[in-house]
Structure 1
């Protein structure tokens, strides 16, 4: 098999990866999930779509498909082939709520690097603080201020800092308290109008237990709100307002506890609901990438009690909505619309499933047949303006990106622009290669390759969607 044939095969495997069943997770994934249930997206280039690609006598097999590292969550490929836009635009779609039929339109998308589309939203921050703590972005606090978790070691948050991208300075907001609980790990953070909250658990044991903390948004000493056990400890997301810390649980339902401490109270009429971002709750999921198969069908404002029904088009799947806009899938084509089904657009060549942040959808991007074409790892599509911004890019040597670790959808995406993926290959006995069920066992020798990340480690490129101009 020539190098060109192998590259073509890798491209084919990448395109097939999106529709393939989830692989058995490796040890790194397992450790990551044991330590915390939150997930951060990791994407890699076409050269790293398969953790090991072995070529034997013209036949290629894939091992450890969609690898990941450091417990950052499953790697994702952006390999959806373009949909048939002509067919889709000719077929009207019935409003899922029983209203009049709506005609879908295919929206042409010109994807350019995010620094060209929204230069005001792009900045760089150091990967590490002066004392060596590694920064983990949480979310944006404003157009120029970022909330960061400084980790003393893997997954150990030592303090919260506010980083000002305008003057490139950092201020300590609070030092994380020592709980004295063995095996304790801080989980997701959440920003409210008056407080910043987080929760923690002991994920490496069988205890069903969690606790909650708050610190004033202006900074100070963290205060423990309380702890819960049993089903109440199966937290999916948290929220905080001026008076209460709230959380939803894996079986659905939302609870609250006074910020000053007290007894947990279940909110009425929240069966089957999960927090999205305060004060909104939705009828699917939990946190990004966990549970929640199917379409979102309603959004509930917990302050007003108002319910907004989602008009899902016939054949639609994986629909997720922010306060106004929804992103979903129809076959191989991404779809964007308002909750009521209006302003529906097909986005050929893109796939959903990477997250919805208000009016922004983070979408997988198809590979281009043009060798010099710009192809980002993922694309942020602004439903309000139709602008599309590429995050990082697929290139020789790999790449990746992360999302902020807030409980509600984070406004931050980031990556290390200097990091590359190196490939290590060796000749091995082909009999040890995995193969599809029923396929003949390979014989002879073959080339097996693994990938690893090299370089980088100095700066993150950060995109803060709070800095994108409002459309109002």
Structure 2
């Protein structure tokens, strides 16, 4: 760790020749772009949204290896959750181990996870006696016992950390910044000196709104962006938002050094995230008079290197979808998942699924009499952007 700290305070390393990356012209008009399944068929698969036996919700968390995805089988209230290794080629989920549950606590779903160096690590929040704490756990990547590494008191639900495993430590940063580490074998949480206000990007990059540092090589990049912009940068691209009038906020992209800057059209309303330092996931709203009809996307994926734009999902077609990955896409960098047209055909077995069907029934009462059961997504589309990076 001394070596990592030293990298943060030593003089900048000699710059490497920059790769020339242009910003291809972003589409000026919102249209019924080709679906991601058509544009990148080798990187999109279907995965179940519910476990086959207990009918409990399944949520993708991270990439385990070339053929497996880490998923959480979320237990009903009071039940243990289970980590599952889902084999994409075989279409089969294998339980890896359970996550302990203690009475008297409200234990939330996993919100951050990473799989690296033969271990998986994850973060969740728990509420007990009116107080919220964050928990960091680990387990061998081939399954086994879940081990609680650290508990952080006084966290805020929804302000989740970004995780990385390197060597014998789990590293993490919360949105307010500062790189912390805890040994994978257990021990005290320690702050890495010189990292206050900085957040993990794509490991080994750490940064804030104005600088980026490579923890392994010492390479530094100065971020040059408008002072009034909210910007999120990695070593290749930045995405940000900027107030352009009293009633308008616009999304823009640029290189960290300020070059290749492009303001995106007004129908792009929010950046969900920049995945793999290349694929930009965007929320869209159709302008008045759009001619795309039911094909109008509610979210798109934009390839910053090539300019290819593909539709992730729509909300304006004939069938609504509810639940995680339904109304909005679920993001677990480098994975993105969203509801398929496949709908439930059997009565739900779990309380969580019954609750979702009840919510769908309430929705159906005011939206064209949609059948509540068939409004619940049974499967997800899963896009792995790491399979596309080049």
Whether 1:163 aligns to 2:83 is: no
Among 32, 45, 50, which residue is 1:123 paired with?
45
Any idea what the Cα deviations from partners look like across 1:97-122, whole Å, max 9, x if unmatched? Answer: xxxxxx99853377311111111122
Q: SS in structure 2 opposite 1:115? A: helix
Any idea what the Cα deviations from partners look like across 1:215-265, whole Å, max 9, x if unmatched? Answer: 122322222223344579986333322311222245432221211112221
Alignment CA distance shift 1:205-1:280 (3 Å): farther
For residue 424 of structure 1, what is the aligned residue in structure 2?
Answer: 365
What is the distance in 2 between the residues matched to 1:379 and 1:232? Answer: 29
Whether 1:344 aligns to 2:264 is: no
For residue 5 of structure 1, what is the aligned residue in structure 2?
Answer: none
Among 154, 163, 170, which residue is 1:238 paired with?
163
For residue 267 of structure 1, what is the aligned residue in structure 2?
Answer: 192
Whether 1:311 aligns to 2:311 is: no
What is the distance in 1 between the residues matched to 2:232 and 2:211? Answer: 10
C-alpha displacement of 1:383: 0.7
Q: SS in structure 2 opposite 1:396? A: coil
TM-score by length of 2: 0.72
What is the distance in 2 between the residues matched to 1:278 and 1:159? Answer: 27
Q: Structure 2: which 5+ residue stretches go unaligned?
A: 1-21, 344-359
Cα pair 1:138 1:410 within 8 Å, conserved: no
Which of the two has higher C-alpha Rg? 1
Q: SS in structure 1 opposite 2:386? A: helix
C-alpha displacement of 1:266: 1.2
Cα pair 2:251 2:271 within 8 Å, conserved: no
C-alpha displacement of 1:390: 0.6
Any idea what the Cα deviations from partners look like across 1:104-163, whole Å, max 9, x if unmatched? Answer: 985337731111111112211222222222211113334542211111226966211121
C-alpha displacement of 1:402: 4.6
Q: For the aligned residues, what is the CA RMSD? A: 3.5
Alignment CA distance shift 1:130-1:364 (3 Å): closer
What is the distance in 1 between the residues matched to 2:78 and 2:37? Answer: 30
TM-score by length of 1: 0.61
For residue 141 of structure 1, what is the aligned residue in structure 2?
Answer: 64
Q: Structure 1: which 5+ residue stretches go unaligned?
A: 1-102, 284-295, 426-447
Cα pair 1:214 1:259 within 8 Å, conserved: yes
For residue 390 of structure 1, what is the aligned residue in structure 2?
Answer: 311
What is the distance in 2 between the residues matched to 1:279 and 1:148? Answer: 24
What is the distance in 2 between the residues matched to 1:362 and 1:225? Answer: 32
What is the distance in 1 between the residues matched to 2:129 and 2:369? Answer: 32
What is the distance in 2 between the residues matched to 1:128 and 1:218? Answer: 22
Larger RCO (alpha carbons 8 Å, 6+ apart) = 1
Q: SS in structure 2 opposite 1:203? A: strand
Equivalent residue runs for 1:242-253 within 5 Å: 242-249=167-174, 251-253=176-178
For residue 193 of structure 1, what is the aligned residue in structure 2?
Answer: 117
Q: SS in structure 2 opposite 1:353? A: strand
Cα pair 1:392 1:417 within 8 Å, conserved: no
Whether 1:463 aligns to 2:383 is: yes
Among 249, 272, 284, which residue is 1:354 paired with?
272
Any idea what the Cα deviations from partners look like across 1:358-396, whole Å, max 9, x if unmatched? Answer: 211111224162154621120011111211111122313
For residue 370 of structure 1, what is the aligned residue in structure 2?
Answer: 291
What is the distance in 2 between the residues matched to 1:373 and 1:108? Answer: 19
Q: SS in structure 2 opposite 1:120? A: helix
C-alpha displacement of 1:208: 5.5
| Count of aligned pairs | 331
